[in-house]
Amino acid sequence: MSSTTQHTLLRRLLLLPGSRIRSVLALLALGVGTALLLLSISTWWNFNALVNGSNRAGSTKAIVVVGKNITDYNMASVSGNSFSTGEIAYLRSAPEVLDVGEIISAGFPVYAMMGGQITMATDLPLASVPDRFLDTIPDAWTWQPGDRNLPVLLSTQFLDIYNYVFAPGQGLPQLSRTAVKSIALKMQVGGQHGQVLTAHVAGFSDDIGAVLAPESFIAYGNKTFQVAPISGPSQLVLRVKDPSAASFISYLQQHGYTVNPGNLKWSRIRSIVEATTTITGLFALLLMGISGLVLVLFIQLTVSRSYEALILLGQLGYSSSFLRRFMLRRFMPPVTVAMAVALLIAVAVQVAASQTVLSGSLPLPALPGWPVWLAFAICYAMILILVSRSLRRALK
């Protein structure tokens, strides 16, 4: 006699046929509810991973450039649109802000000339930011008085304007990033009586819309060639935990500061994503609650249908704990399968999403984040406890 035969007999006595549709529907609802819950958590987690800029080199946070809103009333006052020391200090304690850096503009003329195949001459808007705010710090990112070569970082916006607007219109060749780096620019610094330097584009900046030079160069130039006094930085660069956080956006709006429209766009997207995931999550919890209830009712119905057999088994010496374990082993496998399928769906969606997003240069983890696994573990434990307690009450 094997335990298999015993289990077969007990199954015939205790798990009477019928109510199959009800149990399948309950398991289906449980699976769908679990999948929706895991997917909504996964979506929320992925969105946070993207907006928090985990792909940024050397930093896990986002860089935001802020300035004062230029209106018809204040546009004539350059000094009024600069940031005072007090305002900078106040910004350091603003929500989500981790660090504040000043963008120092060059207070002296800079004239760049390019010879050879591309003949072009233009004034350059030079500025500097503390090195810790740069996307990537080039190898030779230094300058000291007497150096003839000056490394600069070019805004990617400038390169785009040249390649897509200026070059086609002027019959000039378009330039790749590598080509731009190989070009030497002759720079007249500080006017006709200033110095001539050779500038090389050492890299590109996505965040700051200026040509960046090392801090030491701008400090030297402002001290040596400055033609007009500068009251303070007109732009600040911030490192923030979450640029789309409502508290941060609200703070900027209250103080009349402007930011990159992209940050506001993220904020709006974030609101939509949060609302969608919250509603989906609540719906999923409701679905899981209903399926849990149906599952409990199904268990109680099963126990009540086999009530006489349970009583007689007890009289023959079967303990209630043995019968409870037997019933649990019969109920939990389909529940486990339903929830495992839901987890597999969440994992498959994450894998597909990571591959899709990767093609857009936005890395997402190939597997769901820890909140998804935690949510699954909690849901499974809760269902196990629910079924176990339901059986305990029914088999008392």
Partner 1 sequence: MQLNVQGVLPEFLTDRPGIRSSGVWCADLTAKPAEHISVQAVSGAGKTTFVHILYGLRQTYAGSVKWGEQTLSDADPEKLARIRSTGLSIVFQDLRLFPGLTAWENIEVKRSLTGIVTAEQAVAWLERLGLADRRNALAATLSYGERQRVAIVRALAQSFNWLIMDEPFSHLDHTNRENAIVLIKEVVQQNNAGLILADLNANNYFSYTQTWLM
Residue 173 found at the interface with partner 1 (CB under 8 A) = no
- Span interacting with partner 1, options 163-171, 244-252, 290-298, 312-320, rule CB under 8 A: 312-320
The runs of H, that is alpha helices, within the chain are 3-14, 20-51, 85-92, 156-161, 167-170, 177-182, 215-225, 246-254, 261-305, 307-316, 320-358, 370-394
Cβ neighbours of residue 6 under 8 Å, at least 6 residues apart?
Answer: none
User: Considering the complex, what minimum distance in angstroms separates the CB of residue 327 from partner 1?
Assistant: 16
User: Considering the complex, what minimum distance in angstroms separates the CB of residue 308 from partner 1?
Assistant: 9
Residue 313 found at the interface with partner 1 (CB under 8 A) = yes
Q: 34: helix, coil or strand?
A: helix
- Span interacting with partner 1, options 1-9, 170-178, 203-211, 293-301, rule CB under 8 A: 1-9
Judged by beta carbon, residue 303 or residue 342, the one nearer partner 1 is 303
- Binding positions for partner 1, 10-69, rule CB under 8 A: 10, 12-13
Contact code string over 150-169 relative to partner 1, x by CB under 8 A: --------------------
User: Considering the complex, what minimum distance in angstroms separates the CB of residue 348 from partner 1?
Assistant: 43
Cα–Cα distance measured from residue 328 to residue 337, given in angstroms and rounded to the nearest whole number: 14
Contact code string over 265-304 relative to partner 1, x by CB under 8 A: ----------------------------------------
- Span interacting with partner 1, options 178-186, 226-234, 320-328, 344-352, rule CB under 8 A: 320-328
What's the angle, vertex CA 263, arms to CA 257 and CA 264, rounded to 5? 75
Q: 201: helix, coil or strand?
A: strand
Cα–Cα distance measured from residue 305 to residue 394, given in angstroms and rounded to the nearest whole number: 11
Pick from 316, 359, 360, 361 the residue near partner 1 by CB under 8 A: 316
Pick from 98, 161, 312, 377 the residue near partner 1 by CB under 8 A: 312
Cα–Cα distance measured from residue 342 to residue 34, given in angstroms and rounded to the nearest whole number: 6
Contact 50, 364 (CB under 8 A): yes
Tell me the DSSP string of 105-156.
EPSS-EEEEE-TTS-EEEE--EEE--GGG-SS--TT----TT-SEEEEEEEH
Pick from 90, 283, 322, 373 the residue near partner 1 by CB under 8 A: 322
Pick from 60, 176, 319, 356 the residue near partner 1 by CB under 8 A: 319
- Binding positions for partner 1, 323-352, rule CB under 8 A: none
Pick from 260, 320, 354, 388 the residue near partner 1 by CB under 8 A: 320
On the CB side of 118, how many CA atoms lie within 13 Å of its CA?
Answer: 24
Binding site for partner 1 (CB under 8 A): 1, 3, 5-6, 9-10, 12-13, 309, 312-322
